[in-house]
Chain A
Amino acid sequence: MLLLQTSIPVPKDIPLPFPAPEWFLVTILIISFLVHIVFVNLMLGGSLLTLWCQIKGIKNKEYDTLAHEIAKTITVNKSLAVVMGIAPLLTINTLYTVFFYTANSLTGLMWIAIIPLVTVAFLLTYLHKYTWNTFSNNKPIHILIIAFACIIFMIIPLVFFTNVNLMLFPEKWGTIKGFMSALLLPNVFPRYLHFIFASLAVTGLFLFWYVGRKNYDFESIFNQLTRYEVKKKAYSLVLAASVSQFIIGPIVLLTLPSKGLGWNLILVIFTGAIISLPAIFYMYKAIVGKPENINKNFKIVVICLTITVVFMGSGRHIYRANTLNPHIKMISEKTQSFIKESEIARQESAKPQTAVSDKTDSNKGLEIFEQNCAACHAKDEKVVGPPIREMQTIYSNNPSGLKAWIKAPGKKREGYPQMPAFANKLSDSELNQLSNYILTIK
């Protein structure tokens, strides 16, 4: 067992060049991934908020309305989350082919289970959205629907984290036995927690904007709740989630295996964290300040937090690059040497082994028979097709009849599969040699 653990594989890469310069693919990966993840955040955060509001709405009808309003956004955000996920998926497949596919494969059942699970979760969100009136007198059932969707939405990121984490550690690949063992690698859960809180923060910010839009007719939807109240709650959520990240963030950093840590990473992450401070300050001021000032500095908050997210996304990539670059170098050298070995073997095999012209007709017949017929026909007994003895009885002294059959076999007999035609595979002289040979086998 110990031996297995110390072994680190050096697989070969796909022996084809990248379709674009690496920096280009990396840029696409970072940006498209962040766009994807923002919509995933909104989908997950939106579902959790809906659930929370609806539970609160059992006592206070206003919150049930708020839940309905948030629920309407989930089904849009989830569609965008899926479609925006394609570009980063395509790009990570290109850049980290062997690493990503290996992680997928080792956790294969859970990985493919994402497809039916997410489909079910999506259908549940629609069911929830379109049965608001149907279940108005049966709230527990209605809440159960969104609760199930939430559970699935909470599981899916865990599968993704397990995979992108596993791909970083080739030294662990030999020890993984299915999804659960990959899930229990030390830094999966801290990263997951980090993501969940980010989802809440992003959703809070989204809600703040959503209810504040000019053409959003807040007053005709709600009776008691005011825009200010909802906005204040949304900001409080963002603030609480952001501050929590200052505790979770360091834990994530500490649990990351040291091999990818470097000053470049620390610098990027700390810069990102510092940039979020003004946003936290302004949100705090808005929450404790006067109601009419709540919208002040919203743009600055959004800009600062966006920059933070970009820095964190880049940090994530830097860690990945730091971790994998030495291995990628080995893999590419290995791939090159394999291509060379393959080339040498190809040239060797292309050299003619024995001069064909030296052979007698009957030798050639034997060779053709061995290569084309022996798989199905034996001398005395039925294998796939009838034995040679039977052919000899049917076609004794009639090689041209046998030849015609081989070229285009007739209808198969009972209990025998159809024989393939050899008209296009063997030349006329080869067919002659073959039929003569078959009839002379002793």
Chain B
Amino acid sequence: MDIPLFHLDWLNNRMLIAIIATLHALINHSLAVGFMPLVTWLENKGVVNSNPHEITDPKWDKMVYKMMWTAFIITTTIGAMTGVGIWFSVSLVSPNSIASLIRVFYFAWFVEWLVFVTEVVLILIYFLTWKNANKTLKAKTRHIKFGWYLSVFSWVTMAIIVSILGFMMDPGNWNNEQSLINGFTNPLYLPQLLYRTPLAMVLAGTLGLFLVSVFTNKGDTIRIKAFRYIGKWILCWLPFAVAGAVYYFNVIPKTMLANLQVAIGTQSFQQWYDIMWKVIVGSSIIILITAIITVWKPQIMKSYFLAITLVFALGFMGLFERVREFIRKPYIISEYMYSNLLREEDYPLYKKDGILKWATYNSTPTVTNENKVEAGRNVFMLACSRCHTTQGINSITYVFDRMYGNTGKPFKEDMMKSYIKNMHKSREYMPPFPGNDLELDALVAYIKQLQVTNEVLEGAQEVGVAINKDQSVEAFKSQFANKETQNESQNNLVKK
């Protein structure tokens, strides 16, 4: 409410973050954290298995180089830019939450940055010196060492960011002790790391198999050899990934129940949770079958089958990210800030005065009969627009109509009012409505209008902002002038 609200009325604001963040996480896990050790390991195999008079098997080395080339191109373009994109999109959609996190986690992110700089420098060295390193055995050995360093730094980058993610989900800590240590000691940290690490290795393996099938010809001896190695790699990591997933998802509901009193009976969560289990079991079986075939019957493995496996492996992780996102609700920072970006502790003030009065940017500081719908639109922007659109994904008219049985009939005002007032009690993922009764009336009037007009809500990026007169420099000065004259008169009294 102190920062103009960017709003995407069709795509949905959260979807913007979700698309960028999921893409980034998939690339990060499959092409960095898991892929660097895989490539280094394969590069080393080339040296170990080469003829005594050669430094490495040149055909094999060329294939591994091509795999690394793919990883290099993708990670330094889409990978790097979606990383920045998470920052950009979150600061647009959810500025107050990311700003609060940065105030607390500045040094965590700073250390993360240092590690990340090292990672980028290492990947540049590792990839760009590859061909020169093939001239002597000493250089090749050193090159492989750089590959291992790179692997370590890729992993550490992830280990730090998981701490920050874990912190956001850990209830209670924010209000007690705001430090990075909490990120590492919170109950979800270790399970997440134990899950993500082997999963990254498995994802890298399935991607590796696919790339080998692209970069080699059917019947090549190196193709069969590479299939076997990577198949074994997957078979080694897959049990840990599944065990990690089971461990992690056993911890989630417990943490939720213990700390949030959110019943996991919540229907939508239960749905996601059920689907996720099916996908995890299904993908694991497909990956397992693929790995077994590539180890025992590599010659019959087909590219398209590997592509399908890859899609399932990525789906495994994508769904997991969705569920992780879900359990944060209704908060964006556990027990501190709701997903509407309002702090829990400010609610009594908003309930008393209304949110419009305190919002820096809105055209209707007080609700009147004349401005009711406009005020309702402003309330919607402040209290609902971070998760709901008016016409697009998760639109407000759609969710109400669905709740009332998809009848398409005009919504009933009284029912909507009593629902919105109490929704947080039966729908735990919803934050409580922050405004006063007049604002609730206005919001309902606006939603009812939306139902018949299909009007679009435009964000600050299109229509700009109206400045609330109560929150302008003029109001600030007059408020201050009052205080000073009060002080003066008090002083005068004392003097007399």
Contact = CB atoms under 8 A, between A and B. Distances in A.
A376 B405 CA distance: 12
Interface string B327-366: 0000000000000000101101101110000101100000
A348 interface: yes
Nearest to B351: A349
Contact of A93 (B82, B102, B422): B102
From A94, A119, A348, A382, name the one whose CB has the most chain B CB atoms within 10 angstroms. Answer: A119
Interface stretch (A60-68, A98-106, A187-195, A254-262): A98-106
Interface stretch (B110-118, B194-202, B203-211, B291-299): B110-118
A308 interface: no
Nearest to B352: A345
Contact of B345 (A7, A17, A111, A346): A346
A79 B113 contact: no
B2 A11 contact: yes
Interface in B455-495: 459-469, 471-476, 480
Nearest to A408: B265
A94 B77 contact: no
A372 interface: yes
Contact of A178 (B266, B428, B461): B461
Interface residues of B, number: 90
A334 B349 CA distance: 15
A391 interface: no
A417 B89 contact: no
Contacts of A4: 466-467
Contact of B465 (A79, A173, A349): A173
A122 to B, nearest CB: 4
Given A86-B84, A115-B85, A126-B73, A80 B461 contact: no
A374 B360 contact: no
B99 A97 contact: yes
Given A9-B471, A420-B263, A106 B403 contact: no
A79 B419 contact: no
Given A9-B472, A76-B124, A79-B76, A420 B266 contact: yes
A221 interface: no
A10 B463 contact: no
From A9, A109, A333, A374, name the one whose CB has the most chain B CB atoms within 10 angstroms. Answer: A9
B3 A101 contact: yes
A103 to B, nearest CB: 9
A341 B350 CA distance: 10
Nearest to B479: A337
B403 A87 contact: no
Nearest to A350: B348
B425 interface: yes
A345 B425 CA distance: 22
A227 B58 CA distance: 35
Contact of B103 (A14, A107, A178): A14
B419 to A, nearest CB: 4
A375 B423 CA distance: 7
B16 interface: yes
B92 interface: yes
A48 B92 CA distance: 31
A380 to B, nearest CB: 12
A141 interface: no
A19 B110 CA distance: 11
A375 B80 contact: no
Interface in A153-211: 173-179, 181
Contacts of B85: 112, 115
B305 interface: no
Given A80-B120, A122-B76, A8 B91 contact: no
Contact of B117 (A15, A84, A115, A350): A84
Contact of B265 (A80, A86, A102, A421): A421
A393 to B, nearest CB: 20
A115 B73 contact: no
Contacts of B92: 104-105, 108, 111-112
A197 to B, nearest CB: 26
Contacts of A80: 120
A369 B418 CA distance: 11
B175 interface: no
Contacts of A75: 76
A331 to B, nearest CB: 9
Contacts of B263: 420-421, 423-425
Contacts of B128: 76
A289 interface: no
Given A10-B473, A79-B120, A345 B81 contact: no
Nearest to B421: A375
Given A10-B471, A108-B92, A371 B352 contact: no
Contacts of A93: 91, 98-99, 102
A397 interface: no
B5 interface: yes
A418 B426 CA distance: 11
19 contacts: A9-B467, A11-B3, A16-B103, A20-B107, A82-B81, A84-B117, A85-B84, A97-B99, A101-B91, A105-B4, A108-B461, A112-B89, A119-B81, A119-B82, A123-B78, A177-B463, A349-B351, A417-B402, A423-B263
List the 3 closest A-B pairs by CB distance, nearest first: A108-B461, A19-B106, A11-B2
